């Protein structure tokens, strides 16, 4: 059985696929696979191991024709689940294995924004540190600050436990309960997004929501880029609706809105949430096991469709 892997993955995942006797087509390269290359290379494949940057729709599924789509991610918003169900295509993801790494990066962004780490680094490198001053680059105390978590799943819960160690008060808004989104936005000193991208959460953070936040508040997004309306966020940062933002994900990756690039009060990262050696190895191995199980007509560990 032939399997297409759209980008290089950790060798641990490849070893599992090779040991299972699958015929692998591995597309290597730094950039996401193009639409044309995806359609050409998936022809004749029963399995696909894809990245969150790949759009997997009915056309791609039919080009195989595919039996299994194994996502190398937790989110599956890039995969047309309805088209998969109509065709009997199994879809899987990799939850759990990246929880701790993503929670760590969320706290890294929070600290970098709250204590203005990048601004301090830039000041030093530009030769602007002439003398210590009591008013220089003052930031937010985490101790006693209120963290509002939007989406209290695995990652949101892991962020909450870390924040509480810093002495933060944690509130949340999610499908499982918590406070209303409006109350969270009005009262939180930091808003951290951990909800999935769905039609209901696309541009969840738009102008009304960003204007509701405190002018001293920070926005952190390590979930999905399209949850935030990026042009509006750029305005919010430049016009002082909020104090800063830490963003790891973007709506049209790898493109970043130019006004965000120009914002000195934004910390921007290239989707590094799960980018640790252990997390990426475990993601590759889980994506591989899901694929192997489904192609062998066994129920995969993490099936979403």
Residues belonging to the active site? 224, 253, 271
Partnered with residue 91 across adjacent β-strands are: 69
User: β-strand 169-174 against 177-178: which pairing, if any?
Assistant: antiparallel
Find the helix or strand (DSSP H, E) in which 295 lies. Answer: helix 277-295
| Structure tokens, 44 | 């004749």
Q: Is 216 helix (H, G, I), strand (E, B) or coil?
A: coil
- Other C-beta atoms lying within 10 Å of the C-beta of residue 162: 17
CA distance 135 to 220: 25
Asked if 168 and 147 count as a contact pair (C-beta separation under 8 A), the reply is yes
User: β-strand 47-50 against 23-26: which pairing, if any?
Assistant: unpaired
Please name which of 77, 98, 79, 70 lies closest in space to residue 13, comparing C-alpha atoms: 70
Burial status of residue 240 (CB atoms within 10 A of its CB: 0-12, 13-18, 19 or more): exposed
- The b/e string for 259-298 (b: 16+ C-beta within 10 A; e otherwise) is ebeebebbbbbebebbebeebbbbbbbbbbbbbbbbbeee
Partnered with residue 192 across adjacent β-strands are: 149, 220
């Amino acid at each position: 059985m032939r399997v297409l892997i759209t980008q290089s993955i950790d060798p641990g995942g490849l070893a599992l696929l090779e040991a299972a006797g699958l015929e692998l087509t591995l597309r290597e390269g730094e950039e996401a696979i193009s639409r044309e290359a995806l359609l050409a290379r998936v022809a004749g494949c029963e399995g696909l191991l894809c990245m969150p940057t790949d759009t997997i729709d009915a056309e791609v599924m039919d080009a195989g024709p595919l039996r299994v789509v194994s996502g190398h991610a937790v989110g599956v918003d890039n995969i047309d689940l309805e088209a998969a169900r109509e065709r009997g295509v199994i879809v899987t993801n990799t939850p759990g294995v990246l929880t701790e790494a993503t929670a760590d990066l969320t706290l890294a962004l929070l600290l970098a924004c709250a204590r203005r780490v990048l601004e301090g680094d830039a000041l030093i490198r530009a030769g602007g540190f002439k003398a210590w001053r009591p008013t220089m680059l003052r930031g937010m105390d985490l101790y006693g600050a209120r963290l509002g978590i939007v989406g209290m799943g695995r990652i949101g819960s892991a962020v909450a436990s870390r924040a509480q160690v810093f002495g933060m008060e944690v509130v949340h808004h999610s499908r499982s309960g918590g406070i209303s989104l409006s109350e969270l936005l009005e009262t939180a000193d930091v808003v951290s997004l951990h909800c999935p991208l769905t039609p209901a959460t696309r541009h969840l953070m738009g102008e009304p929501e960003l204007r509701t936040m405190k002018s001293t508040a920070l926005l952190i997004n390590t979930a999905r880029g399209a949850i935030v309306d990026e042009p509006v966020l750029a305005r919010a940062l430049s016009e002082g609706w909020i104090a800063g933002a830490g963003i790891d994900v973007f709506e049209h990756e790898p493109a970043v809105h130019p006004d965000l690039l120009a914002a000195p009060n934004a910390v921007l990262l290239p989707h590094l949430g799960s980018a640790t050696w252990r997390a990426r190895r475990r993601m590759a191995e889980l994506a591989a096991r899901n694929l192997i199980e489904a192609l062998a007509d066994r129920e995969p560990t993490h099936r979403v469709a």
